[in-house]
Amino acid sequence: MATSRAGAAIDALLAILRAAPGLSDAEVIDGPSAVNYTSRRRLYIGWAPGADQAAEIQQEFASVGARTRDEDFTITCHAEVRAGDKDMALRRAAVFELLAQVEDALRATDAAPEAPTLNGTVLWAHLTAGSLTQEQTPDGAQAGLVFTVSCRARI
């Protein structure tokens, strides 16, 4: 019996995003990176700068008798776009476009009817929060967007 669906949901989210046509030019990374990526469009799943957790989990009994539990959890993610110029408006637009592609990948379509359930690992999943950061670095403009994917599962 599973104690949590969070790990399986993160794995499924990674698989869905790596297969999403709209994200083919973005590096989709599992957790914090130990490598200095040169990609200028990145999605981190289960990590964000300054975040204390990869996922936050809450559970409660689903019914009398304590046979099943409902689990609500959020997966911390971070979208990042950088470039060699100083044009912040372009980076900001690009990071929101990355987020839009994530949201599209989580919607049910004829080709991916199980996307909102993260391929059956949860009852539902969707984007629920975001926080934009912007920075001018010696290497150019950078925009980041910390966001959460909220999920509900039955275990």
What is the set of domains in the chain, with CATH numbers?
A: 6-154 (3.30.70.1700)
In terms of Cβ atoms closer than 10 Å to its own Cβ (0-12, 13-18, 19+), residue 150 is middle
Average pLDDT in the 99-113 region? 92
In this prediction, residue 46 carries a pLDDT of 96
Q: Which two tokens stand for residue 81?
A: 């776009």
Instruction: Place 111 in a pLDDT band, splitting at 50, 70 and 90.
Output: confident
pTM, entire model: 0.92
- 3-state SS string over 33-96? CCCCCCCCEEEEECCCCCCCCCEEEEEEECCCCCCCEEEEEEEEEEEEEECCCCCHHHHHHHHH
| Residue 122 φ/ψ, nearest 5 degrees | -135, 170
Q: Taking the CA of residue 8 as centre, how many other CA atoms within 13 Å lie in the half-sphere pointing to its CB? A: 16
More confident residue, 2 or 5: 5
* pLDDT classification of 139: cutoffs 50, 70, 90: confident
Q: What is the mean pLDDT of the chain?
A: 92
Strand partners, 42: 27, 80
State the average pLDDT over residues 113-133: 94
93: pLDDT strictly greater than 90: yes
| 29-88 tens-digit pLDDT | 999 887 776 789 999 999 999 888 899 999 988 776 667 889 999 999 999 999 889 999
